[in-house]
Amino acid sequence: MFELSPSLSAGSQINLGGVLAVTRQLAHIHLDVDDGNFVHEITFGMDTVRTVVEHTPVPVDVHLEVLNPLDYVRPLCEIGVAAACAHVEALPYPSEWLTALKAGGCPKRGLALNLSTPVDVLGYYADQLDYVVFVSVEADGEGLPFRPLTLDKVRRARQMLPPQVQLWVDGGVSETNLRDVVMAGADAVVMGRAVFGAPDPVKAYQHLVSLGETYRRERGA
What amino acid positions are annotated as catalytic residues? 32, 170
The Cα 127–Cα 27 span in angstroms is 26
Q: Name the nearest CA neighbour of 3 among 186, 176, 198.
A: 186
State the Cα–Cα distance between residues 194 and 26, nearest whole angstrom.
14
Q: CB burial class (10 A; 0-12, 13-18, 19+) of residue 179?
A: middle
Sheet holding 3-6, edge to edge: 3-6, 188-191, 166-170, 131-135, 108-113, 83-87, 60-65, 29-34
List strand residue ranges (DSSP E) for 54-116, in order.
60-65, 83-87, 108-113
Q: Is 185 left (phi over 0), alpha (psi -120 to 50) or beta?
A: left
